[in-house]
Amino acid sequence: MSERDPAAGDPAGPPEEDPRIQGEKHPVARMIALGTVLSLIGIAIALLIDWFPVSAAGSADEIDTVYDVLLICSVPVFILVMTVAIYSVVRFRAKPGDMRDGAPIHGNTRLEVIWVTIPFLMVTALAIYGWIVLDDLEAKQPNTLVVNVTGQQFTWSFDYPSEKVKSNELVLPKDRPVEFRIHTKDVLHSFWVPEFRLKSDAVPGLTTKIRLTPDRIGRYQVVCAELCGIGHSTMRQNVRVVAPPEFDSWLADQKEAAPAGGEAEGEAGDGGETGDSGEAGGGGEGGGDGAAVFAANGCGSCHTFKPANASGTVGPDLDEIETPTAAFIRRSIVDPNQEVAEGFAPDIMPQDLGETLSPGELDALVEYLLKAQE
Ligand code: CUA
C-alpha cells in the first residue's frame, strides 16, 4: 500500500460490512422500477406540451416528429440519472458523526461498458435518423420558387429573381416548393419562420439555403434568431402564405407598382396568428406612397412614428424630428452618419437607402415624414 495520510484512519482493520448498506438487497431493482414509472409519466408530460406554433410547411411535421423522438429518448435518460443520483444521496448519506471513508471501490467494468455502449448506440441512431430526415427535407423539388432573403440591421428584404420583384413582405404561394437563398448585408442574422420550423443563419460572404413547401394559408412572421445588435428583437417581417392565384395577382401588383414600391395590405387571410405589428402599411391617410415606402423598408422596426403605428426605439422618434425640414430629413435618410441624433450610435441606420430607394420613393418618404411634423 502506498503511504497515506495517517489521520485517515487505520486501513489494516478487518473489512467489516458497511452498516449503511446492510439489509439493502437490490437498490438497483427499486431504482429501475421507480425510474420506469417516472419515465412514462415524464414522456407523457413531454408529449402533451405544445412546444411549437402551428405547422405551416410540409417539413414542420417531420421536424416535430424528430423532436418527439428526441423527447422520448432523452426523458428516460434524464430520469435515470436523476433517480440514481437522488436515491443515492438520500439512501446512502452518512449518518451524523460517521466519519469513516467509503468502501475503496475501483470501478466496475461491466457498468462502464454499459454506460458507454448504450449512449453511443442512442446518439448514433438519432444522428442517422436526423440525417435521413434532413436529407429528405433538403431534396430538390420540381417547380421550385427561388426567393433571395437579405438580412440587414434590422430588417429583412425579399427578392423573387425569376419575377424581378422585390418586397419587404414575404409572400408565398401555398403548396409550391420554395428555396430561400439567404444573405446578409452586414452581420450574422438568422432567418426563421417558426411555423416553417427550418432556420438558417445569414452569414456574411456566404449564401445559405433552406428548402420547404408552405402548406397552410395564413400570416406569420420572419424572426431574426441571431443576436445581431440593438434592434435584434425588432427584426421581424410579415410572411403571408396565399393561394396560388392570389400569389400571381400579388406578383402582378408588385410589378405594376414597382416604381412606387409597397402594395395595398388587407387580405382576409385566415385570421392569422401574428397580427401585432403587421398593419403599418395601411395607416397614414395623407401620406400616400410615403406610408408604403416607410412600411416596405422596415423603418418602423427601428423608429417610432405614430402615423405608421410604429413604435421602434432603435433609432430616433420620427414624430419629433429635430430639424423638421425636407432637406434635413432627406440628408438623414441618404447619409445618416453625417449628423447622428444625440443618444444614438452611428452606422445603425442602413447606409444605402440613397441607392435602394428610387427618387420617387425618396420624395414620397420625405414628404410623409415632414407632414407629420406640423
Ligand atoms: Cu438580425 Cu437579430
Q: Are 315 and 303 in contact (CB under 8 A)?
A: yes
d(C-alpha 179, C-alpha 209), whole Å: 7
Which CA distances in Å does 179 have to 59, 67, 81, 373? 13, 23, 42, 43
Using the atom order of ligand 1, give the atom closest to the CA of residue 228: 2
Using the atom order of ligand 1, give the atom closest to the CA of residue 153: 1
Pairing of strands 165-167, 155-160: antiparallel
- Condensed to tens digits (0 to 9), the pLDDT of residues 114-129 reads 989 999 999 999 999 9
Residue 348 C-alpha to ligand 1 middle, in angstroms?
A: 12
- Condensed to tens digits (0 to 9), the pLDDT of residues 15-54 reads 445 544 555 556 778 778 888 888 899 999 988 888 888 8
Q: Residue range 64-90: average pLDDT?
A: 88
Ligand 1 neighbours, Cβ below 6 Å, are 151, 154, 189, 224, 226-228, 232, 235
Dihedral sign for Cα 8, 9, 12, 13, please.
negative
Residue 215 C-alpha to ligand 1 middle, in angstroms?
A: 26
* Residue 132 pLDDT > 70: yes
Q: Retrieve residue 263's grid coordinates.
A: 402594395
Residue 189 C-alpha to ligand 1 middle, in angstroms?
A: 4
Confidence at 6, pLDDT banded by 50, 70, 90:
very low
* Residue 261 pLDDT > 50: no
Using the atom order of ligand 1, give the atom closest to the CA of residue 202: 1
Q: Residue range 204-211: average pLDDT?
A: 92
State the first-to-last Cα distance of the chain, in angstroms, to the nearest integer.
Answer: 93
Residue 321 C-alpha to ligand 1 middle, in angstroms?
A: 26
- Write 126-132 long-range contacts (CB < 8 A, 24+): 126/69, 126/70, 126/73, 129/66, 129/69, 130/66
* Residue 206 pLDDT > 80: yes
pTM equals: 0.64
Q: Residue range 173-191: average pLDDT?
A: 93
* Residue 267 pLDDT > 80: no
Residue 281: predicted pLDDT: 39
State CA 300 to chain mean position distance: 21
For ligand 1, atom 1, the nearest C-alpha belongs to 189
Q: Residue range 244-258: average pLDDT?
A: 86
- Condensed to tens digits (0 to 9), the pLDDT of residues 293-309 reads 887 777 887 888 888 87
Residue 156 C-alpha to ligand 1 middle, in angstroms?
A: 9
Q: Are 200 and 210 in contact (CB under 8 A)?
A: yes
Residue 118 C-alpha to ligand 1 middle, in angstroms?
A: 39
Q: Are 189 and 201 in contact (CB under 8 A)?
A: yes
Q: Retrieve residue 154's grid coordinates.
A: 434590422
